[in-house]
Chains A and B, each alone.
Chain A
Amino acid sequence: MKQPIIQIRNLGKEFKTSSGTVRALEGINLDIYQGEIFGIIGLSGAGKSTLVRCINYLEVPTEGDVLFEGESLASMTPAQQRKTRRSMGMIFQQFNLLAQRNVIRNVCFPMELSGVPKKEARARAMELLKTVGLEEKAKAYPVQLSGGQKQRVAIARALAMNPKVILCDEATSALDPNTTKSILALLKEINQKMGVTVIMITHEMSVIESICSRVAIIDQSRIAEVGSVSEIFSEPKTRIGRQLILGDAIHQANFGKSKKVRIIFDGRESEEPVISNLVLACRTPVNILYAATRDLDGKAMGQMIIQLPEDETEARRVYSYLKTVKIPFEEVTEYDV
């Protein structure tokens, strides 16, 4: 994980349209390391697709450069760029299989493009279909496959040229939750077994959470935050980060007869927003029943009683958070002030 396989340097992209210029990307700097699963998340229109298409130069950036294994794509000839592209497989939300070719010929397609002998290509394609669990569908046509199966074929096709990187643009966004899970598991397996670096573009936090090691949040054409997934999830620093991470997580929790916890403040920095950090990190609301804290010389002293959500796993998350940040607490059955 030491060597960056892709370095994005000061990258910018403008589109000239009839209604003026659109700035799709601005000042993007990112290092993506060999063997990691790197997530890029952002709202619709943030520039994710443009960024991933700049990585393999399907879209030529208007500023900056992309280095693949240290080599600048900007200074390559178109033929060299095409050759480099073969080291980067790509999969798409809409699968983009050739409808008039059967499964095995789809997988053979990139090999056909680069002149791999037919027999060799077929053998390799069969092997890849085994990897993605579709060898019995070799003769089927895309129309006869489910969405998940089509994406498996697309993954096999992307792997055909032994790429070092796989670029995934919303690869699971057209799939149902179970199929999404299985495709993500497959990508993870490919990442671990073959050491292929994976770049996942998505607008779903759950995708990032389940397989990525690091994540970049992209907002309005710029990178808002980059870091390890655990870091960013426990403490998003930007507004967009909080919105993306908490947006779908904060919901009306049920506080029927749920557990109550007494938190003790015994001299922490009073500037530390303990409760809001807890809410952010655990992605669950808590109910403050009672609070008596005082600021003594910048130290917080006192106690607070909060009620946890009824949901077991959410409650457990609060406990483990309190433990990790070393805030003393105790469960209370009936609170008396």
Chain B
Amino acid sequence: MTFDASTVEMIKTGIWETVYMTFLSSFLAYVIGLPLGVLLVVIDEDGIRPVPWLHKILGVVINLLRSVPFLILLFIVLPLSKLIIGTRIGSPAMIVPLTIAAAPYIARVVESSLREIDAGVIEAAKSMGASNWQIIWKVLLPECRPSLLVGAALAVTTILSYSAMAGFTGGGGLGAIAINNGYYRNEPFLMWVSVVLLVVLVQIIQEAGMRLSRLGDKRIR
């Protein structure tokens, strides 16, 4: 078992790749998932602008995407990565499947956060002549901010654990080190180091999300 400078370098790169894959895909997935989640709440039967048929279709599509196991989605989507990013291996290639897998998940997480809002508050805003846009921007999103942040911690940690599967398809990051070096090359120490680092990352993200949520929550005295 070797633990020299090059190994340290490898682990450093792994951490960076994991962080970069996770946060970039989380960001992109939020760009798609957040509006989708808002839309799901807005066009629901009891939403501020009901469009039942669209709600139904969206629901089915999201459930469909969510029911495909990530590893399978990974293989299906990687050709698309080649088209978009120009490569199907390495960490950048992982961004596309991660985003596609996470967006519908995030849509559901956002939806459930937004459903926590008290219908009375929306009614009050309507009674003041608020438009639907104003209700979304000035009531729904700000009032649900604490819950959205808790949801974000959940979503980002889930994406991080997905990203660890990149090792199977030639992607990078800590997950790849654990699989390639730790498992296939039988270096259990390296595997455990990577796993511990992944656990630490999850802890940090989870804790940061919860703190941010609590810090900004004015419902706490």
Contacts and interface: CB of A to CB of B under 8 A. Distances in A.
A58 B123 CA distance: 8
Interface stretch (A88-96, A280-288, A326-334): A88-96
A144 interface: yes
Nearest to A92: B120
Nearest to B128: A110
A113 B221 contact: no
B129 A82 contact: yes
B128 A161 contact: yes
B127 A58 contact: yes
Interface size class of A (residues with CB under 8 A): 20 to 34
Contacts of A233: none
A44 B129 CA distance: 28
Contacts of A98: 121, 139, 142-143
A114 interface: yes
Contacts of A89: 127
Interface stretch (B24-32, B74-82, B130-138): B130-138
A105 to B, nearest CB: 10
A137 to B, nearest CB: 14
Contacts of B139: 98
Interface string B44-83: 0000000000000000000000000000000000000000
Chain A binding surface SS class: mixed
Interface string B138-163: 11001101100000000000000000
Interface in B201-219: 216-219
B9 interface: no
A97 B127 CA distance: 13
A76 interface: no
B118 A113 contact: no
Contacts, number: 76
Given A102-B218, A143-B220, A143-B221, A96 B118 contact: yes
Contact of A114 (B129, B142, B143): B129
A89 B220 CA distance: 28
B138 A100 contact: no
A109 interface: yes
Given A100-B218, A101-B218, A85 B127 contact: yes
Nearest to B130: A113
Contact of A99 (B123, B131, B134, B218): B218
B127 A88 contact: yes
Nearest to B144: A100
A237 B183 CA distance: 88
B124 interface: yes
A33 interface: no
5 nearest interchain CB pairs? A96-B124, A90-B127, A82-B129, A110-B128, A96-B120
Interface of A: 56, 58, 82-83, 85-86, 88-90, 92, 94, 96-102, 109-110, 112-114, 141-144, 154, 157, 161, 167
26 contacts: A82-B131, A83-B129, A85-B129, A86-B128, A86-B129, A90-B124, A94-B120, A96-B121, A96-B123, A97-B121, A98-B143, A100-B145, A100-B216, A101-B142, A101-B218, A102-B218, A109-B128, A109-B138, A112-B138, A113-B134, A113-B138, A143-B218, A154-B124, A157-B128, A161-B128, A161-B129
Given A109-B125, A114-B129, 15 more contacts: A56-B127, A58-B123, A85-B128, A89-B127, A92-B123, A92-B124, A97-B124, A98-B143, A100-B142, A100-B145, A110-B128, A113-B138, A141-B218, A143-B220, A154-B124
